[in-house]
């Protein structure tokens, strides 16, 4: 079975036209926190995708949340997002 991090990265790659996805699991920094007690994790993600072109920051974040679907309810408590177009990432 794939790890939680692998499932998150895989879902982003499947749902978005990504050039790059970098995920950092910060869950260990939140031990004892309410979100950690229910088994969900804290993550930072950097996603580079042409799908973000023409979107404001909030729209990019909403697209990432929608792309992760059920994982937002079952695996992720907190997610810090950097969402860039390929031109912005260069």
Is 60 exceeded by the pLDDT of residue 35? Answer: no
Is 90 exceeded by the pLDDT of residue 30? Answer: no
pTM of the model: 0.90
Tell me 85's DSSP state: -
59's tokens: 């729209």
Is 90 exceeded by the pLDDT of residue 48? Answer: yes
In the three-class reduction of DSSP (H, G, I as helix; E, B as strand; rest coil), residue 89 is classed as: helix
Rounded Cα distance, 17 and 39, in Å: 29
Q: Is the dihedral angle over the CA atoms 10, 25, 74, 17 positive or is it negative?
A: negative
Question: Any idea which of 1-15, 25-39, 46-60 has the lowest mean pLDDT?
Answer: 25-39
In the three-class reduction of DSSP (H, G, I as helix; E, B as strand; rest coil), residue 46 is classed as: strand
The pLDDT confidence band at residue 27, using thresholds 50, 70 and 90, is confident
**What local confidence, expressed as pLDDT, does residue 55 receive?**
98
């Amino acid at each position: 079975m794939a790890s939680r991090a692998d499932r998150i990265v895989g879902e982003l790659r499947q749902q978005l036209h990504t050039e790059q996805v970098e995920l950092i699991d910060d869950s260990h920094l939140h031990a004892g926190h309410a979100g950690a007690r229910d088994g969900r994790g804290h993550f930072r993600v950097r996603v580079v995708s042409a799908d973000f072109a023409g979107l404001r920051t909030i729209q990019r974040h909403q697209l990432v949340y929608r792309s992760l679907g059920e994982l937002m309810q079952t695996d992720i408590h907190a997610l810090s997002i950097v969402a860039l177009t390929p031109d912005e990432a260069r």
